[in-house]
Amino acid sequence: MFPDIEYLEWITGRPERADHDLGSSDLRRRRPEGEGVVPPALEDLPAPPSDVGLDALLADAYGVGTENVLVTAGATHANFLAVAAAFDGDEEAADDDEESRRERVLVEKPGYEPLTATPQGFGATVDRFRRTPDDDYALDPDRIAGAVTDATRCITVTNRHNPSGRLSDRETLTAASRVAEDAGVPLLVDEVYAPFDGERGDGPLGGPTAADLPNAVVTNSLTKFHGLGSLQVGWLVADESFVERARSVGFHVPGVAGPSVALARRALHDERRRSEAPADADAGRLDGDSRARIAENHDLLASFVADRDDLHGFVAPGCTYGFLAHESADGDEIAEAAWEAGVLVVPGRFFADADRFRLSLGRDPSAARAGLDAFGDVLDSL
């Protein structure tokens, strides 16, 4: 029923085997040693009061009620539940005969493969609307409106865009949500990269959000910006009825583990301390570490691309990854040549554009610099 997710099968184990990891997009932190379970970055952080739940910390960050938050086992789990809830909430379609059921999902292209594979697993047909390199992959609400049909049941976008890193502003997100509202369907906005910037913004976790827009369903996690992927903690933010449908679907699949929730509370409590006391050097250590890495790695990536005449592409301000093209080799040729030299980059076919590849600096700046040097040698050899 559910199709293979070729990207996840391909990437699994490669970051650990690569000499230089320019494929992982999360800001990877040091993992616990041996049989340890507490990430070193969380060891010395204070826990919030025992009566403050993770859902309350998230609700506070987004300025919503706890009834608008569902804690999940990562963003992929949140997206799965969101798509399932979008289908489950279509009461009109459930009353129709099978042939007239609304079962189409509209997803951006290029885009992250699981966002198309999951609705296909539910039996949906996936339609695409384009985000083009001609305008640096900007999100165009008019393109969404032009691709919506009476059979569309969910619209899915990422912000920042994965794989290009383009960040949509509030006005654009508002226009996209109006398209979804007019169509009577949810706008699913995967915001795992929204906080990526060297400077903290005003939104939750320091990035923009669509959480309070009409028909918007927002997902995020502690994996990308915080580098705490081992916790497998994410969340979904939406109106109360949508959250309840997602929660009901969640009973059919495994949920998030209690120890992960406890550790995630530390991370989000640290985040709240940072927002409440931005001048306090001891507050918000995770946030500060991530933003310092983003600022330095963005400059490394932007300079690398600008200095090479054989590469073409857009490096978004404040972002640590980009979707690039080579003058004479396609994405698979680049990725294969790099892998032979111990360098991991991601071919663009996993994002529905085989001509390009994603280059990402998620490791610490010294490792990123060494990786770019090695990758430069690969490009020179072509």
CATH of the domain at 330: 3.90.1150.10
Predicted confidence (pLDDT) per residue in 250-269, tens digit: 999 989 999 999 999 999 99
Q: Which of 221, 250, 274 is the last residue of a domain?
A: 274
Give me the domain span that covers residue 354: 6-31+285-381
Of 30-39, 207-216, 319-328, where does mean pLDDT reach its minimum? 30-39
- In 3D space, the residue among 371, 65, 44 whose CA is nearest the CA of residue 243 turns out to be 65
94 has a pLDDT exceeding 50: no
The pTM (predicted TM-score) of the whole model is: 0.94
The DSSP element (H or E) to which 146 belongs, if any, is helix 141-147
When computed from its CA atoms, the radius of gyration of the chain, rounded to whole angstroms, is: 20
pLDDT at position 103 is: 83
The answer on 69 and 155 residing in a single domain is: yes
The answer on 253 and 300 residing in a single domain is: no
The answer on 157 and 94 residing in a single domain is: yes
DSSP 39: -
71 has a pLDDT exceeding 60: yes
Pairing of strands 216-221, 234-237: antiparallel
Would residue 280 count as lying in a domain?
Answer: no
Write the CATH number for 87. Answer: 3.40.640.10
pLDDT confidence band for 189 (50 / 70 / 90): very high
Residues 6+ apart with CB under 8 A from 139: 108, 131, 157, 159, 161, 166, 168, 172, 173, 176
3-class secondary-structure state, position 142: helix
Q: Which of 274, 302, 337 is the last residue of a domain?
A: 274
The DSSP element (H or E) to which 343 belongs, if any, is strand 343-344
Could you tell me which residue, 90 or 103, shows the higher pLDDT?
103
Count of structural domains within the chain: 2
Averaged pLDDT for residues 20-45 = 90
The answer on 252 and 112 residing in a single domain is: yes
The answer on 291 and 269 residing in a single domain is: no
pLDDT at position 8 is: 95
The answer on 145 and 13 residing in a single domain is: no
The answer on 210 and 128 residing in a single domain is: yes
The answer on 144 and 70 residing in a single domain is: yes
Residues 6+ apart with CB under 8 A from 338: 22, 344, 345, 375, 378
pLDDT at position 341 is: 98
The answer on 226 and 182 residing in a single domain is: yes
The answer on 130 and 229 residing in a single domain is: yes
330 has a pLDDT exceeding 50: yes
Q: Quick one: what percent of the chain has pLDDT higher than 90?
A: 82
Predicted confidence (pLDDT) per residue in 286-296, tens digit: 889 999 999 99
The answer on 26 and 46 residing in a single domain is: no
**Tokens 């654009």 sit on residue:** 172
Would residue 92 count as lying in a domain?
Answer: yes
Q: How far apart are CA 372 and CA 343, in angstroms?
A: 9
Would residue 373 count as lying in a domain?
Answer: yes
pLDDT at position 91 is: 53
The answer on 290 and 231 residing in a single domain is: no
